[in-house]
Chains A and B, each alone.
Chain A
């Protein structure tokens, strides 16, 4: 680890103005800290968002569930509001990483990192969520741009994520056996405006499977998508899985997510 300065502001504006050119925001630190320890990243200063009370917390108004950016995965997994409004989201959070990761990692940190194998991007896109920042509101689809890339600008801080509450939703992931990240994960939702299907792990960034969405909008059942394949073209291929295998997993996981939907 290279040496760096550390600051822990208590307000959002204070945090935004504290960030200089070589500095980084620190949320739960589950990616940033290991990267710093391995000297793969360097920061002039870490601006810790952990001291900002208004970034934490969960609320639901019956049609929308709102989760503060600095809310930990464990809090989402255990929240009665989340379990009641979108049980698939609580279940997803309960399977991120391991207990230590869930007790430190945050939803805002995860989506701002946009790891292609993270779970949350599938939920945000699958549910048609909105990402709120200190500057604006961004639809989930516009937020996730590409591999480790988001729409966030310099000094822009995610403040909360709001999820429209679906009729039902489900998530199924095939974990990478080594890292337990999603080798492929599929989030499905039945909403008033039709079905949504979002895939993580399989491509450079989360994406929607529109053929499946069309089929599920007519008939929200695993049978409806049983024959729908995803092209392997453009999907990730690495030592853990080929693009063809990931394409197969999209079909299998989508079917399981639909079956699990509640």
Chain B
């Protein structure tokens, strides 16, 4: 029996009606009575000492309520921003996390660093007053490039981090790798740059702080992917307010891509200031501020070497990476180039030994942290560019080289040399599926036709793997995470049979209101329109770890299933009483409870009503029908698949036309295929953006951001993208009750490597991302 709009149905997203008709409640749509407006004076310099700040003229300006600096927050006992994941260097020392005050105290370390917070009756007045603040800066020579920052003699960004080194981390068996390289028939070497990206969610970050002097409660409305974690950090580490007096609400949030996981200075300053002036304060970033201050992504420099034998079998892999942390260590920055990166360097391959070392360093740039995929796109890029390069060295077809080295479908659980235990998958299946979708074998004929027209044609694949469903608390705890990564849910029936689901995950575009409702519809037979999903409010949801790492369905959805199981268990007892049968004799399917072997049955709605109007009710059972559950996963999930890109290049201009794209993804079970397809499209679009169009650039001398607007930072547009062929294969995840793996990041993980491999295949030589027309033109026209 299947249920209407249940698991597996491509239901239209319930939330889209309000989003596309302007009826959403994004942060800047919210206003409070008596609200004032905050504006940050930001550093125009990449690196400077602050000698003095003169606020007198600004404070006297019309409409100004108050102006605060970093010293005011320190004097008030407010702590600095933290990094919540401790990384240990090779030598056993903890990573360097220099002080990170919400506003600068004695120095600024990147263009856009917060210097003062001006609060006025109107935003215009706040901006006018900010121009009257006189800051005496002593400018210093900045460093923006990670390789230069880690080189001897570089400017020192923080006294606490000599040589700008945050950590020097390693994973794997160096001795075994060195031994394997010593006897290898072939060694393939590759140098790669993973370009720095700006996240660009559609809704800029914003915060609205409010203080209730009567109750002493502070409320922060903010653009967050994880409001409970924000509350925890602001309470425990900054001392803004005790958790029981601090409410954090993340209403409709217009995209995040990771950038809204982190606790930012603007949020902490806004909520603190609201109490100081005893008046609501709203701050909304403009797009220029978003470019300057939203945590960036990627920015790695990597050298990799792969050892192979004479039969084309991989023997060992070693990787050395420099990772740019920016000016300060952001909330989860330290984990991204280590445990979200090094642990994925086995890819889909049986590699006997792997060794990776990562040096992370500070520069005078915007902090870098998780961005869609977070570490896993970087790992996939290294592994998959290497596989193509090695296949080229070995004169093998790149797909045949991969198929020869894949972990086989009967090998699970498979323990990699970089501490992951893959639980399920069928890598040859998704590879062969993708090859069929794009007619891989017909490529030679298509290439000949392009050449006849004076064009270059290339094909390239990426067989990616990611660790998602982040994550088992015990596992991440042992690796340095400061939090557990479980999820919570409450399923609450109302007496009339409708359901409210409270989830600790957070939807900022993913479609949880639909997907989670489908789970309830499927399991309990409730129409999806009678299911309300509540998220993003610490005063409503028990607790939550939020949404990132493709975790919402695998972890948050599993918590919902656990709560549903409790609902079913209780309902069976009520049904047994009402139908005068034994509990063991009650069968349940999709919200219908029946007595085995009879035609007696009750619906979930009837039982819920009985639970709230318990006139005829089991004496030993509590009334009511609401259950909550906390779910901590047993393992990561491991979505994997193969994407293949085909390109045609105009050598006269270097323009790359993406003529075809095949995505064959194994996401385990799929709840809503349409939403999954949309996630793949969006992820691939962002991956194509990274590979061809996007790239944050700084002027190396001044440290000024050169790509500070859409005039200069190139986002992918619809006409840059091909029609996508998207299909899924399905090996259910064995470690969660839904058998799901997660789909939100796969496209962004697979696409850069697939597209670059296709471009490199067409050109016959390596180039770095972004493959701009000029770079491609130069490669196509040089020897």
A-side interface residues toward B, CB under 8 Å? 1-3, 38-39, 174, 177-179, 181, 239-242, 245, 248-249, 252
Closest 4 CB pairs of A and B: A178-B714, A179-B711, A245-B774, A177-B714
Q: Which of A177, A239, A248, A249 has the most CB of B within 10 A?
A: A177
Report B677-703 residues with CB < 8 Å from chain A CB. Answer: 693, 697
- Residues of A with C-beta under 8 A to B711: 178-179, 181
Bound complex: CA A248 to CA B773 (Å): 12
Report B740-783 residues with CB < 8 Å from chain A CB. Answer: 772-774, 777-778
Report B639-675 residues with CB < 8 Å from chain A CB. Answer: 652-653
Bound complex: CA A255 to CA B539 (Å): 66
Evaluate contact between B714 and A174: CB separation under 8 angstroms. no
Chain B residue nearest to A3 (CB atoms) is B124
Known contacts being A177-B693, A178-B712, is A242 close to B652, with CB within 8 Å? no
Q: Which residue of B288, B697, B710 contacts A239 across the interface (Cβ within 8 Å)? A: B697
- Residues of A with C-beta under 8 A to B772: 177, 240
- Residues of A with C-beta under 8 A to B714: 177-178
- For the complex formed, measure the closest distance between the CB of B37 and the CB atoms of chain A, giving whole angstroms: 15
- Residues of B with C-beta under 8 A to A2: 128
B interface: dominant SS: loop
> Can you add 10 more A-B contacts, CB < 8 Å, to A177-B714, A177-B773, A252-B653?
A1-B124, A2-B128, A38-B288, A39-B127, A174-B773, A177-B720, A181-B711, A240-B772, A241-B774, A248-B652
- For the complex formed, measure the closest distance between the CB of A32 and the CB atoms of chain B, giving whole angstroms: 15
Evaluate contact between A239 and B706: CB separation under 8 angstroms. yes
- Residues of B with C-beta under 8 A to A181: 711
Known contacts being A39-B127, A177-B693, A239-B697, is A248 close to B712, with CB within 8 Å? no
Evaluate contact between B777 and A178: CB separation under 8 angstroms. no
B414 within 8 A of A: no
Bound complex: CA A240 to CA B709 (Å): 13
Bound complex: CA A178 to CA B697 (Å): 14
- Residues of B with C-beta under 8 A to A252: 652-653
Chain B residue nearest to A184 (CB atoms) is B653
- Residues of A with C-beta under 8 A to B288: 38
- Residues of B with C-beta under 8 A to A38: 288
- Residues of A with C-beta under 8 A to B693: 177-178
Evaluate contact between A249 and B653: CB separation under 8 angstroms. yes
Bound complex: CA A242 to CA B777 (Å): 12
Evaluate contact between B712 and A240: CB separation under 8 angstroms. yes
Bound complex: CA A2 to CA B647 (Å): 48
B440 within 8 A of A: no
A interface: dominant SS: loop
Contact bitstring B700-733, A, C-beta under 8 A = 1, else 0: 0000001100111111000010000000000000
Bound complex: CA A38 to CA B711 (Å): 14
Evaluate contact between B710 and A179: CB separation under 8 angstroms. yes
- Residues of A with C-beta under 8 A to B773: 174, 177, 245
- For the complex formed, measure the closest distance between the CB of B4 and the CB atoms of chain A, giving whole angstroms: 40
Bound complex: CA A252 to CA B774 (Å): 13
Size class of the B contact interface (CB-based, 8 Å)? 20 to 34
Q: Which of B288, B710, B712, B715 has the most CB of A within 10 A?
A: B712
- Residues of B with C-beta under 8 A to A39: 127
Chain A residue nearest to B695 (CB atoms) is A239
- Residues of A with C-beta under 8 A to B697: 239
16 CB-based A-B contacts, threshold 8 Å: A2-B128, A3-B124, A38-B288, A177-B714, A177-B720, A177-B773, A178-B710, A178-B712, A181-B711, A239-B697, A240-B712, A240-B772, A242-B774, A245-B774, A245-B778, A252-B652
- Residues of B with C-beta under 8 A to A240: 712, 772
- For the complex formed, measure the closest distance between the CB of A96 and the CB atoms of chain B, giving whole angstroms: 15
- Residues of A with C-beta under 8 A to B715: 178
Evaluate contact between B777 and A245: CB separation under 8 angstroms. yes
- Residues of A with C-beta under 8 A to B707: 239
- For the complex formed, measure the closest distance between the CB of B715 and the CB atoms of chain A, giving whole angstroms: 8
Bound complex: CA A227 to CA B540 (Å): 72
- Residues of B with C-beta under 8 A to A178: 693, 710-715
Report B123-137 residues with CB < 8 Å from chain A CB. Answer: 124, 127-128
Report B268-298 residues with CB < 8 Å from chain A CB. Answer: 288
Chain B residue nearest to A39 (CB atoms) is B127
Bound complex: CA A248 to CA B706 (Å): 24
- Residues of A with C-beta under 8 A to B713: 178
Chain B residue nearest to A181 (CB atoms) is B711
- For the complex formed, measure the closest distance between the CB of B203 and the CB atoms of chain A, giving whole angstroms: 19
- For the complex formed, measure the closest distance between the CB of B162 and the CB atoms of chain A, giving whole angstroms: 33
Chain A residue nearest to B287 (CB atoms) is A38
Bound complex: CA A47 to CA B663 (Å): 55
Bound complex: CA A249 to CA B652 (Å): 8
Bound complex: CA A177 to CA B127 (Å): 32
Bound complex: CA A181 to CA B715 (Å): 15
Bound complex: CA A240 to CA B288 (Å): 19
Report B291-349 residues with CB < 8 Å from chain A CB. Answer: none
- Residues of A with C-beta under 8 A to B710: 178-179
- Residues of A with C-beta under 8 A to B653: 174, 248-249, 252
- Residues of A with C-beta under 8 A to B706: 239
Chain B residue nearest to A180 (CB atoms) is B717
- For the complex formed, measure the closest distance between the CB of B465 and the CB atoms of chain A, giving whole angstroms: 31
Q: Which residue of B127, B712, B778 contacts A179 across the interface (Cβ within 8 Å)? A: B712
Evaluate contact between A248 and B777: CB separation under 8 angstroms. yes
Chain A residue nearest to B714 (CB atoms) is A178
- For the complex formed, measure the closest distance between the CB of A157 and the CB atoms of chain B, giving whole angstroms: 28
- Residues of A with C-beta under 8 A to B712: 178-179, 239-240
- Residues of A with C-beta under 8 A to B128: 2
- For the complex formed, measure the closest distance between the CB of B492 and the CB atoms of chain A, giving whole angstroms: 46
Bound complex: CA A174 to CA B127 (Å): 38
- For the complex formed, measure the closest distance between the CB of B537 and the CB atoms of chain A, giving whole angstroms: 34
Bound complex: CA A134 to CA B11 (Å): 62
- For the complex formed, measure the closest distance between the CB of B618 and the CB atoms of chain A, giving whole angstroms: 65
- Residues of B with C-beta under 8 A to A3: 124
Chain B residue nearest to A37 (CB atoms) is B286
- For the complex formed, measure the closest distance between the CB of B774 and the CB atoms of chain A, giving whole angstroms: 4
Chain A residue nearest to B778 (CB atoms) is A245
Bound complex: CA A181 to CA B714 (Å): 12
Q: Which of B288, B653, B697, B715 has the most CB of A within 10 A?
A: B653
Bound complex: CA A179 to CA B706 (Å): 14
Bound complex: CA A178 to CA B720 (Å): 11
Bound complex: CA A180 to CA B423 (Å): 47
Bound complex: CA A1 to CA B773 (Å): 36
Chain A residue nearest to B653 (CB atoms) is A252
Bound complex: CA A239 to CA B773 (Å): 12
- For the complex formed, measure the closest distance between the CB of A252 and the CB atoms of chain B, giving whole angstroms: 5
Contact bitstring B109-146, A, C-beta under 8 A = 1, else 0: 00000000000000010011000000000000000000
Bound complex: CA A154 to CA B713 (Å): 35
Bound complex: CA A179 to CA B708 (Å): 12
Bound complex: CA A42 to CA B186 (Å): 65
Chain A residue nearest to B774 (CB atoms) is A245
Chain B residue nearest to A255 (CB atoms) is B652
- Residues of B with C-beta under 8 A to A248: 652-653, 777
Bound complex: CA A248 to CA B712 (Å): 21
Bound complex: CA A240 to CA B712 (Å): 8
- For the complex formed, measure the closest distance between the CB of B191 and the CB atoms of chain A, giving whole angstroms: 22
Chain A residue nearest to B655 (CB atoms) is A174
Bound complex: CA A179 to CA B709 (Å): 9
Q: Which of A3, A178, A252 has the most CB of B within 10 A?
A: A178
- For the complex formed, measure the closest distance between the CB of A162 and the CB atoms of chain B, giving whole angstroms: 32
Bound complex: CA A39 to CA B707 (Å): 18
Chain B residue nearest to A38 (CB atoms) is B288
- For the complex formed, measure the closest distance between the CB of A194 and the CB atoms of chain B, giving whole angstroms: 27
- For the complex formed, measure the closest distance between the CB of A7 and the CB atoms of chain B, giving whole angstroms: 21
- For the complex formed, measure the closest distance between the CB of A98 and the CB atoms of chain B, giving whole angstroms: 10
- Residues of A with C-beta under 8 A to B777: 245, 248
- Residues of B with C-beta under 8 A to A239: 697, 706-707, 712
Chain A residue nearest to B713 (CB atoms) is A178
Bound complex: CA A178 to CA B777 (Å): 18
- Residues of B with C-beta under 8 A to A241: 774
Bound complex: CA A179 to CA B693 (Å): 12
